[in-house]
Chain A
Amino acid sequence: MLSARPVKRKIALVGLGAAVLIAGVGAGASLALGRGEVAVTLPTTGAYVPITVPKPATGLMAMVQGVDPDSLSKVGTDVASVVSRGDGTNHYKLTILNTSSIGYIDSLYWAPPSGVTITKVTGSSAGHCALTGTSGFGGKLFPSVELYPKISCTGLGLKPPSCTCIADGGKVVISFVADTFPGLAGAVGITSARPILKIIPSYQQTPDLPLCAHGQASTTSRPCSSGSG
């Protein structure tokens, strides 16, 4: 009778050999099928380093240095706003224009200047606008008390301008009632926007027009410049 130990060893070796063969075939097939891919990477130097932002002076040092606090709280130039008088006593209109390089503006709020209280929002030319504020300060006794009332608008879809140098972006006109003329434009905050892929330029890129010949007038089909200074 043969010894069992060499037989056991032979069976294990056969199994191991088959394992190596199968693994090798599998790996080869993977490579053949293009799955032996390399990682997609980016450079790590120059403009490809992680973004850093210079830290402004703060606290007492900033005050001593006379740093303008408005320069610390950076704001964008995403909208232009104007307040004008409306029809009726204490009725006003707020016009907000999208001047942003971001894209579409969908919702925003307007906080009036200090000392002005908005009592009612009477309408808007786009989206839905309403009077809102921060609640909870009245406790259970006065649950409806709201601080810092402001106008909030949603569903606006204000289109971006073709160039931030041209005021052709989407706009909304909001009618409201306040206890006094706001005067200054207050503060607008964008709460929701849809960035677009296309870069919105900050200057026009139209080519120079040719000079008009003597007696030639500029037309749509053949524009020219008079060249007068």
Chain B
Amino acid sequence: MKHNHISKPGYTTLQTVGLTILRVMIGWHFLYEGLIKFSTPGWSAKSYLMASVGPFSPLFKSLAASETMLQITDVMNMWGLVLIGLGLFLGFCSRISAFSGLLLLTFYYLSYPPFADFAMTGFVDGNYWIVNRNLIEMGALFVLMIFPSGHLTGLDRLLCFRKRNHGKEPVQN
């Protein structure tokens, strides 16, 4: 293969397919969540933040209490979800996207930590203790961070090529 060097660390085809599917699925989920928020009239994280439970709830509640902070939170949340979603979906800046997704999910996780002490008052499907769906998705994003696939099956591949191309070969006139 001509482009062996960019295939490092050298996944097998099946591994590449597997990682790509995982990446696209999580990208799909983020993007859809983000677009839903854009499409819901008057959507705001306020009620979600206000109902936060656990040791970090004062922080989340204080975000909801301030108009400015709430606006910033809402905008970052909506755009964050959409951009991370697109990034993962298309394999664009996939490492940074995976990391940002991990960060965002950490906030979701901490605002409603699934510990037995905090009675969940909201509508939660399923039963969780410490490990919940957010944490599992965080784990998956962590895997995608250390086993990136964007440079193989994503726009990063084109970006890598251009970067390398640009660095190695001087512009010819």
On whether the two chains bind one another, the answer is no
**B residues lining the A interface (CB < 8 Å):** none
**A residues lining the B interface (CB < 8 Å):** none
